[in-house]
Structure 1
Amino acid sequence: MPRITERHALLSETPGTQRVVTIHRYGSDTSGKKAYVQAALHADETPAMAATHHLLQQLEEADKKGLIKGEIVVLPYANPIGLDQFQDDQLMGRVHLGGEGNFNRGWFDLTEMTKDRLTDRLTNDADENVAIIRKAMQQALTEITPVTEFESLRKLLASEAARADFVFDLHCDDDSLPYLYISDLNWPDCQDFAADFGATAVMMAENSGGGSFDEVYTRPWAELGRLYPNNPIPQATMSMTVEHHGRPDVSDEIGAQDGDALFKFFIRRGLIEGDAGPLPKALCDATGTDACEIIQSPGAGFVTYCMDLGTIVKKGDQVGTLIDPTAEDPTKARIPIFAGTDGIFFTRRQHKAVKPGSVVGKIAGTESLKAGYLLED
């Protein structure tokens, strides 16, 4: 069926203004699986929007040829609020400047919202239980009454994504190689996408502690399964955060490659008729998010690096140097920054000016380093 484009107005907080989210729908959910793709929930992460732009070009061609067999929903930008947050010609799209925090933290707990609605409703049929749970999720989300613009955005995005079998939340890092955050509940099922995407790191956690968007849709199936052990509840949603390189990596070439990885995934999963070609060799195995070292600056100044992205490092290797331009003794202005674990050095800082605690890099390792809150804010 032809593409349907919808424009959803958010709650207006100031007279004479209203922001809109655009949603493109291809195919139909009555004919197969459903995929949901959104770009730039962190609105300053432009490589994600480049990926959806090129994905949409491919979907247009597939739609004209009648090749779409499921439903594919694409939001070319997920956050018009953040897209409007320019300060001195710089887009500040990660955190809500009105005070509601990081756009990708504190999303809904669908387990808590639905668990009591399922009492005496679940059956001995796994597929039937999926339908019952998804209906309960929609009922719970429908009952939310937003009082802010951001709350209306949350309700809109979550209501759409909660219907999907596959949820892709597209982001990017600062200066970075491509990588993924996934639930361990979806590994190794998503190995094919990791290979097509060229992920250099895949980090797993069932609950990273921050209420990020992708975890909203994976966690309930396992959590409800533990609450209702006598009823079969499969892991019905595959959801992931896709980190599309770094902020400077915006080009038609890179965007086309990233869009093509998504398109091939849809072919491999039967949402699009076609041949995805041979699966490339994976560049990495998955490791725990708790094994990712987030390297912080030990002080103020600026940082230089002595390791390229993609370097395999050992604990104790020097990856960079903090330089304090205010040091009274210039011979003591340099503080080495060391790797705290073995692994791949896969992200670093684009803007080299730092303050104490600024994130200067990440290493994906295999040894557990922390528990509880696992994310960078």
Structure 2
Amino acid sequence: MTRITERHALLSETPGTQRVVTMHRYGRNTDGKKAYVQACLHADETPAMAAVHHLLQSLEDADNKGLIKGEIVILPYANPIGLDQFQDDLLLGRVHLGGEGNFNRGWYDLTEMIKDRLEGRLEDDADKNISIIRKAMQEALDEITPTTEFESLRKLLVSEAARADYVFDLHCDDDSLPYLYISDLNWPDCQDFAADFGAAAIMMAENSGGGSFDEVYTRPWAELARLFPDNPIPQATMSMTVEHRGRPDVSDEIGAIDAEALFKFFIRRGLIEGDAGPIPKALCDATGTDACEIIQSPGAGFVTYCKNLGEQVKKGDQIATVINLFAEDPNKARTPIFTGTDGIFFTRRQHKAVKTGMVVGKVAGTEPLKAGYLLED
């Protein structure tokens, strides 16, 4: 058995308390590629936990059989801070209740952190430059001195993931079909995983504007290649955010299916010896994140839907109605909600009470709708 289980303590902010991140490391001394998988950076997105649980079962079996040929690092929960944010039996794991914002926004800009220290260090060999750049990343990260618990978590996760060739950040939506956020720098290289996973939508952007975790590892290679055009710098990291359907979609059956998609990816990339079988037919092509319509409620009340997830919609189609219980005239209580683009209706709200501006659905289209900040929040 090659698995090593590590427990990394975070910075303690209050006397007598200290949170810990667990990492399971397989194939540490192998010569192959490295993969990093974390679940629940948004701590209340439990379908990701189920997928990782079943993935670990498969990795244990492969490890016992000597089939692990690369290094695979698994974090069954990436955010113990968020996991402790229960209020009245409800886990609020998306936003740091201590005031540091969305757990998946504002991550490090590694290009800014290392570009100056790369001057005069890069060579004419692409493989050597990968090593030089990753060393510079670790040097810059090592210089960070966290002053908060969340900052210590940031440093820990990025220091580990920045060493990887493949980075998977596992999440879920509210009520949703399975889908992916990827970098266009990794398409179509990751289309086999998208097909195995059964992604109903694939949004791609080099920079979505929010500093999300997955973009920490894809953006530097393209940005540095533009900054140092005389030195060969390949796209050395594939990274993506995997949305495991909606929050209620937690079961052994679903978790096992999603784990199998990840396991097959590792086989196809040579991290595990085995036969992944034929790649299934993809359910969709990748489209721009800038073409994803984020539909907001025009008023307060509760929402009802007249379209089902997975339906193809046209611009101007009604997908839902918001009903205002405070309307003086009950005949004017209903306000229809329409789509603004053609595409697949792939997410909606699980809890139907809404306030003005709250997101009630998303449609993955093909025509650009926005620029700059492309995310929901």
TM-score, normalising length: structure 2: 1.00
| 2:65 corresponds to | 65
| 1:356 corresponds to | 356
In structure 2, C-alpha distance between the alignment counterparts of 1:30 and 1:2, rounded to whole Å:
10
Question: What letter corresponds to residue 293 of structure 2 in structure 1?
Answer: E
1:42-57 to 2 correspondences below 5 Å = 42-57=42-57
Shift of 1:177: 0.1
The DSSP-based 3-state class of the residue aligned with 2:152 is helix
Identity of paired residues, percent?
86
| 1:235 corresponds to | 235
Shift of 1:2: 1.6
CA distance 1:168–1:330, shift in 2 (3 Å): same
In structure 1, C-alpha distance between the alignment counterparts of 2:151 and 2:30, rounded to whole Å:
29
Matched, 1:218 2:218: yes
In structure 1, C-alpha distance between the alignment counterparts of 2:251 and 2:191, rounded to whole Å:
26
Shift of 1:31: 1.3
The DSSP-based 3-state class of the residue aligned with 1:31 is coil
In structure 2, C-alpha distance between the alignment counterparts of 1:33 and 1:2, rounded to whole Å:
16
| 1:294 corresponds to | 294
| 1:146 corresponds to | 146
Q: Which structure 2 segments of 5+ residues have no match?
A: none
Shift of 1:30: 4.2
Q: For the Cα contact (< 8 Å) 1:183–1:204, is it kept in 2?
A: yes
Question: What letter corresponds to residue 87 of structure 1 in structure 2?
Answer: Q
1:32-181 to 2 correspondences below 5 Å = 32-181=32-181
TM-score, normalising length: structure 1: 1.00
| 2:188 corresponds to | 188
| 1:344 corresponds to | 344
| 1:207 corresponds to | 207
Question: What letter corresponds to residue 27 of structure 1 in structure 2?
Answer: G
The DSSP-based 3-state class of the residue aligned with 2:185 is helix
Shift of 1:29: 5.5
Shift of 1:219: 0.1
Question: What letter corresponds to residue 164 of structure 2 in structure 1?
Answer: A
In structure 2, C-alpha distance between the alignment counterparts of 1:218 and 1:173, rounded to whole Å:
22
Matched, 1:285 2:285: yes
Per-residue Cα deviation, 1:252-279 (whole angstroms, up to 9, x for no partner):
0000000110000000110000000111
In structure 1, C-alpha distance between the alignment counterparts of 2:117 and 2:234, rounded to whole Å:
18
In structure 2, C-alpha distance between the alignment counterparts of 1:259 and 1:40, rounded to whole Å:
15
The DSSP-based 3-state class of the residue aligned with 1:360 is strand
Shift of 1:230: 0.1
RMSD (CA atoms): 0.6
Question: What letter corresponds to residue 342 of structure 2 in structure 1?
Answer: D
The DSSP-based 3-state class of the residue aligned with 1:145 is coil
Per-residue Cα deviation, 1:170-227 (whole angstroms, up to 9, x for no partner):
0000000000000000000000000000000000000000000000000000000000
| 1:248 corresponds to | 248
Question: What letter corresponds to residue 100 of structure 2 in structure 1?
Answer: E
In structure 1, C-alpha distance between the alignment counterparts of 2:122 and 2:179, rounded to whole Å:
37
Q: For the Cα contact (< 8 Å) 2:39–2:77, is it kept in 1?
A: yes
Q: Following TM superposition, where does structure 1 have runs of at least 4 consecutive aligned residues deviating by more than 3 angstroms?
A: none
Question: What letter corresponds to residue 302 of structure 1 in structure 2?
Answer: F
Q: Which structure 1 segments of 5+ residues have no match?
A: none
Q: For the Cα contact (< 8 Å) 2:175–2:347, is it kept in 1?
A: yes
Shift of 1:28: 2.4
Q: For the Cα contact (< 8 Å) 1:28–1:69, is it kept in 2?
A: no
Q: For the Cα contact (< 8 Å) 1:343–1:363, is it kept in 2?
A: yes
Shift of 1:126: 0.1
